[in-house]
Structure 1
Amino acid sequence: MSDGHGHTEQGHTGRGHTGHSHGGHGQGGHNHGAGATARQLTIALVLTGTFLVVEAVYALLTGSLALLSDAGHMLTDVTALALSLLAVKVGQRPADRQRTFGYRRTEIMAAAVNAAVLLAIGFYILFEAVQRLLEPTEVQTLPMLIVAALGLVVNLISARVLIGGDQDSLNVRSAYLEVMSDLLGSVAVIAGALIIMFTGWNWVDPLLGALIGLWVVPRTWSLLRASVNVLMEGVPEGIDLDALRADLAALPGVTEVHDLHVWSVTSGQNNLTTHLVSERGGPELIHAAQEVAGRYDIGHVTVQLELPGHHSDPGVAARLHP
């Protein structure tokens, strides 16, 4: 069994050998700087979440669809921050007898639920925008302008809080990009408030709301699709299964590759299991296969070797003790 640092276990079923290793993405890895990362995410989450409530309330009071759309967009930021914080917290829990892969898939389950909710919000905003474009309503521009400006300040502060950790943590980096993208929404609402204030063109508000909605929906759909792919144990995005199979088949002595499975437990934790048929298989071939998998960013690898004509039952493997 791997100890989480690349060491390998050898075993056999009577027909072949198995090798098992964890790369840097295994659940046994250390989470350096997790405390600092959690603090950064918590500060940004409190700032953004508090302002989300304020913006949603004032969007209803002012009648601004653009402000409501921006609140919906900010909800995506709050979701991203919360999921990133959840990943840090839950990812620290070790695997146990009930959850042998650990608890990191909680992040994906939460992402799927939130993406479905946000998608519904995005479509509602688009529907409401069409209604208001047909029948424009009066908008209170001054409160709309003030709240949007405050939102811009909150996003700037959140970005400043996260900027220190976005180089060290993919979670923080994704949250940082979410906050930065929300700056566009705040700028759009400010521009809309100024245009309406000086021209009286109330149709600008639902137009901006529709544009923000069109910005939110594709990103939310992408999040939902990626989450469902992980939950369905699909091949992780960015991995070409045919190319991976070809690279494994090209290893010296390999005559067949079968039962190849590649999936993710959560983002950044890719797993692979496969059977390789070879006349002269051994530890060297297992290590070579693990190196191939590593080039595809797969850190948790299980390889079983078989002799030609002995299709192994993947059922029970007996462990060899040196």
Structure 2
Amino acid sequence: MAHSHQHAPASVNRSRLLAAFIVTTLFMLVEVIGGWLSGSLALLADAGHMLTDAGALLLALLATHFSQRRPEKHQTFGLLRLTTVAAFVNALALLVIILLIVWEALLRFRSPQPVAGGLMLGIAVAGLLANILCFYLLKQGQGKENLNVRAAALHVLGDLLGSAGAIVAALLILWTGWTPFDPILSILVSLLVLNSARQLIRDSLRELLEHAPASIDIDKLSRQLTLNIAEIRNVHHVHLWQVGEKTLLTLHARVIPNYQQDALLGRIHNWLKENYSITHATVQLEYQECTQPECQLGTEAESGNDDHHHSRDYEGSLHH
């Protein structure tokens, strides 16, 4: 059985991540205070959207930290999944915030509240500048190679729309004096936050329930592996799941008799890495024919031979 391990240093620039997290958190607090003082529900809704950005950045920081920690005997993957649990809890908290904001917006339609348009405008502009700064930080350097950081950058990009909308609402209130623009915008921003929360719940649940990554088709992977490596006759017992950012794979491969098993295993691992970015895989080579139903994938490519006379399972270790 071959087990490929690649524990490369994290490619994330921690200083940029930390700077973006601090800027986002500070301006989230500014929007909360400004929304309270100005009476702007839209600023509070945008602060909720900034909370999703801060949460995404924090998860990226935690993922970077845990990925560099040495696993312990009772935690062979470290604490990578802690970030997924945090994401799920964060998403549930966002749903509560959304309900509160929408409820308050509906009340304000019935009983409009005064809004300090000038203060609202100033804070919205500051929030927009903060989001631009965070987006710049996240798009620079090595951080752009990290999936968590790329997701956080998308969160910030979405929040730019919320800040821009708050600016428009503040200008409309200053020009027309019609305060319902504020709850209207707060509901629109809440819809953006709802979409982020929905995606966060979906992705975190997929990982917690150990679904295969949505980007990988297991049947397609098995067929391509069989077609691209001539010695492989059949791929079966495929299991694929995600822990943090690490994609894990185990599979059985029925192969023709081969006296260079290590070289064959190396080719399989290289193919998985190059085509699916899978660097942590356990591959069991088998010579004996598998008769179980799930082993039939790819059997149409087999030609009658006496492979089954050479019945042997090969197990070894391969470290990259």
Separation (CA, whole Å) in 2 of partners of 1:80 and 1:111: 8
Share of identical aligned residues, percent? 38
The count of residues paired between Structure 1 and Structure 2 equals 293
Separation (CA, whole Å) in 2 of partners of 1:320 and 1:157: 47
Residue 147 of structure 1 is matched in structure 2 by 123
Residue 280 of structure 2 is matched in structure 1 by 300
Return the offset for 1:287: 3.3
Separation (CA, whole Å) in 2 of partners of 1:245 and 1:318: 20
Residue 290 of structure 1 is matched in structure 2 by 269
Residue 183 of structure 2 is matched in structure 1 by 206
Please state whether the residue corresponding to 1:125 is helix, strand or coil.
Answer: helix
Structure 2 counterpart of 1:286, one-letter code: L
Please state whether the residue corresponding to 2:4 is helix, strand or coil.
Answer: strand
Runs of 4+ off more than 4 Å: 309-312, 316-321
Return the offset for 1:239: 0.4
Change over 3 Å in CA distance of 1:65–1:247 after alignment to 2: same
The reply to whether residue 220 of structure 1 matches residue 194 of structure 2 is no
Change over 3 Å in CA distance of 1:203–1:310 after alignment to 2: closer
Please identify which structure carries the higher helix content: 2
Residue 31 of structure 1 is matched in structure 2 by 10
Residue 3 of structure 1 is matched in structure 2 by none
Aligned-residue Cα RMSD (Å) equals: 2.6
Residue 249 of structure 2 is matched in structure 1 by 272
Contact 2:254/2:287, CA 8 A, preserved across alignment = yes
Return the offset for 1:105: 2.1
Return the offset for 1:310: 6.3
Change over 3 Å in CA distance of 1:311–1:300 after alignment to 2: farther
Please give the TM-score of this superposition, normalised by the length of structure 2.
0.82
Separation (CA, whole Å) in 2 of partners of 1:160 and 1:310: 54
Please give the TM-score of this superposition, normalised by the length of structure 1.
0.81
Return the offset for 1:158: 2.7
Gaps of 5+ in 1: 1-17
Residue 299 of structure 2 is matched in structure 1 by none
The reply to whether residue 261 of structure 1 matches residue 244 of structure 2 is no
Contact 1:21/1:302, CA 8 A, preserved across alignment = yes
Superimposed CA distance per residue, residues 265-288 of structure 1 (whole angstroms, 9 cap, x where no aligned partner): 112x11110112234253444334
Return the offset for 1:229: 0.8
Contact 1:247/1:292, CA 8 A, preserved across alignment = no
Return the offset for 1:319: 5.5
Residue 40 of structure 1 is matched in structure 2 by 16
Q: 2:4 aligns with which of 21, 40, 45?
A: 21
Q: How does 1:189-200 map to 2 (within 5 A)?
A: 189-200=166-177
